[in-house]
Structure 1
Amino acid sequence: MANGVWHRGYEIEINLSLPDLGHSDRPGLRDEIMLSVAARDPELLECLAHHDGRTCESEAGGKSPWMFIRHGRVGGRRPLVAAHLPVTHKPTPAESDQHKATKERIVATALDYGLDATTETSTRGPGGRSIVDALVTGPDGTQIGWEIQYYPLGKSGVYQRSRKARDNGLMPLWLTKSTRADLIDRAPWARVDDMPWREIADGRAMLIRGGFRYLQTWRCVPGSIRQCRDNGGAGHCDGLHADWFLPDLCEPPKPAIHIEDLVVTSATGETLAVFVPSRHNPRSGRHMWVPVRDCAHWKEMAGTTELPAEPTSEPDDSVTFDEQELDRSCSAGQDTFFRSDPRPVRDLGQPTGGLTLPLLPHRPTAAGSTMALTIADAERAAIAASLGCPVWEVGPCANCGQFIRRFGRNAPMACAACRRERR
Structure 2
Amino acid sequence: MAKDRTASLIDRAPWARVDAMPWREIAGGKEMVIRGGYRYLQVWKCVPSSDRHCLLSDGAGHCGGLHSDWFVPALCEPEKKAVHLEDLVLSSATGESVPVYVPNRGSGRAGRHMWVPSADCRRWRELIGEKELLLDAPAQEDDEITFAEQEIDRTCWAGEEGWFVSDARPIRDLGQPTGGFTLPRMPTQRSRKPMLIIAVERAAASAALGCPPWELGPCAECGQLMRRYGRDAALCCAVCRAVLNGR
The answer, yes or no, to whether TM exceeds 0.5 is yes
Gaps in structure 1 of 5+ consecutive residues: 1-174, 319-330, 334-339
Structure 1 CA distance for aligned equivalents of residues 70 and 129 of structure 2: 17
Matched, 1:210 2:31: no
3-state secondary structure, aligned to 2:205: helix
Structure 2 CA distance for aligned equivalents of residues 275 and 332 of structure 1: 33
3-state secondary structure, aligned to 1:284: strand
- One-letter amino acid matched to 1:373: M
- Alignment correspondent of 1:386: 208
- Alignment correspondent of 1:412: 233
Structure 2 CA distance for aligned equivalents of residues 252 and 297 of structure 1: 18
Alignment of 1:114-133 (within 5 A): none
Structure 1 CA distance for aligned equivalents of residues 90 and 131 of structure 2: 25
- Alignment correspondent of 1:372: 194
Matched, 1:292 2:113: no
Structure 2 CA distance for aligned equivalents of residues 258 and 332 of structure 1: 34
Residues 165-220 of structure 1 show CA distances to partners (whole Å, capped at 9, x for unaligned) of xxxxxxxxxx1111111110110110111111221122213111000001111222
- One-letter amino acid matched to 1:414: L
- One-letter amino acid matched to 2:123: H
CA RMSD of aligned residues (A): 2.7
Structure 2 CA distance for aligned equivalents of residues 184 and 317 of structure 1: 12
TM, length-normalised to structure 1: 0.48
3-state secondary structure, aligned to 1:363: coil
Structure 1 CA distance for aligned equivalents of residues 3 and 14 of structure 2: 14
TM, length-normalised to structure 2: 0.80
- Alignment correspondent of 1:237: 63
1:411/1:293 CA distance change after superposition, 3 Å: farther
- Relative contact order (alpha carbons < 8 A, sep ≥ 6): 1 or 2 greater? 2
Alignment of 1:22-421 (within 5 A): 175-311=1-137, 313-317=139-143, 342-365=168-191, 368=192, 372-397=194-219, 401-407=223-229, 410=231, 412-414=233-235, 417=238
Q: Number of matched residues?
A: 225
- One-letter amino acid matched to 1:220: C
Residues 280-305 of structure 1 show CA distances to partners (whole Å, capped at 9, x for unaligned) of 22222101111112111111111111
3-state secondary structure, aligned to 2:5: coil
Is contact 2:54–2:60 with CA below 8 Å preserved after alignment?
yes
Structure 2 CA distance for aligned equivalents of residues 197 and 178 of structure 1: 16
Structure 2 CA distance for aligned equivalents of residues 189 and 224 of structure 1: 31
Structure 2 CA distance for aligned equivalents of residues 203 and 405 of structure 1: 47
Is contact 1:270–1:292 with CA below 8 Å preserved after alignment?
yes
Structure 2 CA distance for aligned equivalents of residues 200 and 214 of structure 1: 27
Q: Which has the higher strand share?
A: 1
1:309/1:272 CA distance change after superposition, 3 Å: closer
Structure 2 CA distance for aligned equivalents of residues 185 and 292 of structure 1: 19
Is contact 1:229–1:353 with CA below 8 Å preserved after alignment?
yes
Is contact 1:359–1:379 with CA below 8 Å preserved after alignment?
no
Residues 96-120 of structure 1 show CA distances to partners (whole Å, capped at 9, x for unaligned) of xxxxxxxxxxxxxxxxxxxxxxxxx
Is contact 1:362–1:374 with CA below 8 Å preserved after alignment?
no
Structure 2 CA distance for aligned equivalents of residues 190 and 392 of structure 1: 37
Residues 19-57 of structure 1 show CA distances to partners (whole Å, capped at 9, x for unaligned) of xxxxxxxxxxxxxxxxxxxxxxxxxxxxxxxxxxxxxxx
**Percent of pairs with identical residues:** 57
Structure 1 CA distance for aligned equivalents of residues 115 and 236 of structure 2: 35
3-state secondary structure, aligned to 2:26: helix
Structure 2 CA distance for aligned equivalents of residues 262 and 377 of structure 1: 31
Structure 2 CA distance for aligned equivalents of residues 389 and 251 of structure 1: 16
Structure 2 CA distance for aligned equivalents of residues 317 and 296 of structure 1: 31
Is contact 2:188–2:222 with CA below 8 Å preserved after alignment?
no
Please list every run of at least 4 consecutive aligned residues from structure 1 whose deviation after the TM superposition is greater than 6 angstroms.
418-422
Once the two structures are TM-superposed, the CA of residue 269 in structure 1 deviates from its matched residue by 1.2
Once the two structures are TM-superposed, the CA of residue 411 in structure 1 deviates from its matched residue by 5.2
Residues 218-259 of structure 1 show CA distances to partners (whole Å, capped at 9, x for unaligned) of 222223211111222112222211111111101111111112
3-state secondary structure, aligned to 2:170: coil
